[in-house]
Structure 1
Amino acid sequence: MTPDAVPLSGSRFQTEPARLYREMRRDHGPVAPVLLDGGIPAWLVLGYRELHQVTGDPVLYSRDSGLWNQWDNIPDDWPLLPMIGRDQPSVLYTVGERHHQRAGMIAKALEGVEPAVLRRHCERFADELIDAVCTAGTADLVGQYAMLLPVRVLARLYGFSDDESSGLVTALNDMIDGRERALDGQRHLGRSMAELVAQRGAAPADDVVSRMLADPNGFTEEEIIQDLMVMTAAGHQPTADWIGNSLRLMLTDDRFAASLFGGRHSVAEAMNEVLWEDTPTQNVAGRWAARDTQLGGRHVLAGDLVLLGLQAANADPQVRTDAAAFTGGNSAHFSFGHGEHRCPFPAQEIAEVIARTAIEVVLDRLPDIDLAVPADSLTRRPSPWLRGLTELPVRFTPTPALGGNRP
């Protein structure tokens, strides 16, 4: 690793990530040396073409974390362990035919979700959350809304009761932020999933977990527990940030003003622009080189960790010659990944329905909504991995609660 490696931490990932990625590309090219917590070296892929190369070659750039040449330097309490995958037999870290089987099992289980049922759950939970704030005239649309909605919907689809979903939000946020509470969050999530899998093993129902358990390929309960943890983490926090980032864009950009006053035509446009310009999943760990190779002019050694710089690749000037052409209806971004380990299409569709419904319910329910603070005072969570707001304070004319009586 080069002596000028960039620490993958610090306030600039909050305050000016786009500029930071441009500087890294200028100084290091499309593949930059970086340091993770504790000075652990890795490579961050910034180039669109290079990221396409890595994600499109699962043999050379493997998902098998056992290949990592740094395991001897990783302490047992390293906060990034939940994101790296040691001793995690989940779909993220299996390769070859077994990975295809597990990905197929997950996709089929999610495909069984009826679109009308999904929409109904989304609207009900969104209305309940808006009911809790609508009479006050002010709200934090991140803490009181976006951070609560996706996990409640996913928990119901999986088979949890509404009461059981409440403890999952904190656990997920702790795990994903990769800080001192990360391992506790991972353990809480694991216990919750194990209890649900045991319940559905004894009493199947019409839900995602029951369909996973019924898969004919014979997956163990531990494999299904691990996959549920991945599905929940990947489905909740990025979707919550997608909601928050899209609402921020619509509240701060004059192009979307019409949608805030009775229209919906720009919701999809705002959501897609966020995936290009302000994607919730900024960087992903990772891939491991199966042998010595060259990537973007760098000599990558066997066992090196390669991180996927999704947001940096989305903004790569080598392919983004016309910014306008890459927003609108263009979905060639990396926000859902690429290759055989990309987010399954049914999961993408569920996330989009949750996010779009969340935004539409806000527009329906909160008239004359506006930011309650200056736009430049909004802050982001301190994570190089996920980009989301710490809060989104808004004000509006108080309205009565629906109380479950949506027209």
Structure 2
Amino acid sequence: MNAPRPTGPSAAPQEATTSGCPVAHGGQDSLTRLYGFDASTDPQSVYERLREHHGPVAPVLLEGDVHAWLVLGYRENRRVLENPRQFTRDSRIWRDWKEGRIEESSPLIQMVGWRPDCVSQEGEAHRRLRAAVTDNLQATAGRGIRRHVTHFANKQIDAFVSAGRAELVTDYAQSLPMLVLTRLFGLAEGEGRQLAVSCAQVIKGGEEALAHNDRIMKILGELAERKRAEPGSDFTTGLLEHRAGLDEGEVLSHLRLVLIAAHTTTSNLLARVLQLLLTHPSHMAGVVSGRLDISAVVEEVMWNTPPLAVCPGRFATADLELGGQQVKAGDLLVLGLAAGNRDPEVRPDVTTALHGNKAHLAFSGGSHECPGQGVGQAIIETAVDVLIHRLHGLRLAAAAEDLTVTASSWEARLDRLPVEFTAQET
């Protein structure tokens, strides 16, 4: 039992032939001549050079040579996010889609395509569906989520604690959020490991994105059937029984939406928080001693390396001007959250401490602002706390400058985080 396939575009700012970042109109050769480096390993430099060349809004190509506008400016991002009458999330008005220039098999469809979920809707339809999500996320967060995180965090650590070394991206951050989500959704732990791989592939894009999305929908369809027959105190049952009266397609689309968004952003953010602590001894000492709250470290990461670097599309509802560019009705815009957070117009010195400043773009904004912030925060804070208090003598086992990232259209993920610590018997 699968939800209907999306009927609109899918997601991911077009990348160069071998890299994952948006590129200036003209293709890979043009990007190489203009900027001269591999965008997949240095996305922030791409954003800076696009800003220099085009200003706060740049014409880019998405995967499959799909035209879009990349919003780089902080103020311009805020304008798009907070004005749904001018910039809608409903991709059914996307001109390239309506005029047949987007293939149904395009990997972009998995991220930008229309679905019967709250992200694809505006107005009353959006409010009805979003209420079902937020109500159940709040209920889920109140059912001992930190207890679940502690359980799975210790289980992950038990697998490597006796070795005295680990690679915290693969061994910890990459899988822990999904293990917690399987418990919250009412899924089996084994299903969670499959879903973690498929969620990552959907965000990454490429030829395999569609097959992995189908795998996700199959697992979630079977889950919904089980929960109709045997309800429980879990997120899935909450959607099925919510007063908003979600139909089958709406239930499955929201299960998919929350699963992919929560896992991919939280796993990425967890890895980045651990990276910051391990490469800044004063931060680590402050957290261990209690002088620095983990939430302050999370906020710093949200500003400098948000887990979603580029947010999937908005669509102009009329011809208008944005950041000096003439945007046409039906044009696709993608939101450069990472670029906007480092906009020199509002943040001329990116080294300035931002403790307590939550005006970053990492959670998007406006009516579509991420509703799962509390759940993600609880997972990360608990995961970090368990790790640093269980692993004595925890230290980075590589030079900080040797830690690399790989960017896809929507995110830049840390490749590895090798550590050493005092080995312990389990």
Instruction: Calculate the TM-score normalised by the size of structure 1.
Output: 0.92
Q: Which residue of 2 aligns with 1:312?
A: 339
Aligned partners of 2:243, 2:347: CA distance in 1, in Å? 44
User: Does the C-alpha gap of structure 1 residues 81 and 374 become closer, same or farther in structure 2, counting only changes over 3 Å?
Assistant: same
Query: What is the root-mean-square deviation in Å for CA atoms of aligned residues?
Result: 2.0
CA distances 1:97-150 after superposition (whole Å, capped 9, x unpaired): 011111111000111125461010000000000000101111111111101111
Pair 1:82 & 2:110 matched = yes
Q: In structure 2, do the counterparts of structure 1 residues 326 and 190 end up closer, same or farther at CA, with 3 Å as the change threshold?
A: farther
The alignment of Structure 1 onto Structure 2 pairs a total of residues equal to 396
Structure 1 residue corresponding to 2:88, chosen from 62, 65, 77: 62
Determine helix, strand or coil for the equivalent of 1:78: coil
In structure 2, C-alpha distance between the alignment counterparts of 1:188 and 1:4, rounded to whole Å: 33
* Paired letter, 1:202: A
Superposed, 1:145-184 pairs within 5 Å as 145-184=172-211
> Could you tell me which residue of structure 2 aligns to residue 405 of structure 1?
none
CA contact (8 A) 1:284 1:308 kept: yes
- CA separation in 2, counterparts of 1:336 and 1:74? 28
Give the corresponding residue for 2:140. Answer: 113
The whole-number CA distance in structure 2 between the counterparts of 1:70 and 1:244 is 36
1:5 alignment partner AA: H
Query: CA offsets, 1:240-259, max 9 Å, x none?
Result: 01110111111112331414
Distance 1:182 1:294, change over 3 A: same
Distance 1:307 1:6, change over 3 A: farther
**Does the 8 Å CA contact 1:238/1:280 hold for their aligned counterparts?**
yes
Q: Is the 8 A contact 2:201 2:209 kept in 1?
A: yes
2:50 is matched with: 24
1:293 to 294, 316, 320: 320
* Structure-1 residue corresponding to 2:154: 127
Q: Deviations over 1:176-233 (max 9, x none)?
A: 1112221111111111111111111122111111111111222101111001111011
> How far is the alpha carbon of 1:323 from its aligned partner?
4.1
- CA offset at residue 162 of structure 1? 2.1
% same residue: 36
Unaligned runs of 5+ in 1: 402-407
TM-score (structure 2 length as normaliser): 0.88
Whether the 8 Å contact between 1:320 and 1:326 is mirrored in structure 2 is no
C-alpha deviation, 1:335, in angstroms = 0.2
* Partner residue of 2:129 out of 95, 102, 116: 102
Q: How has the CA–CA distance of structure 1 residues 199 and 245 changed in structure 2, closer, same or farther, with 3 Å as cutoff?
A: same
User: Does the 8 Å contact 2:141/2:374 carry over to 1?
Assistant: no
Correspondence 1:104-253 to 2 at 5 A: 104-115=131-142, 117-253=144-280
Matched, 1:47 2:73: yes
Deviation at 1:75, TM superposition (A): 2.1
Give me the whole-angstrom Cα distance separating, in 2, the residues matched to 1:119 and 1:217: 28
Contact 2:24-2:58 within 8 A present in 1 as well? no
Gaps of 5+ in 2: 1-22
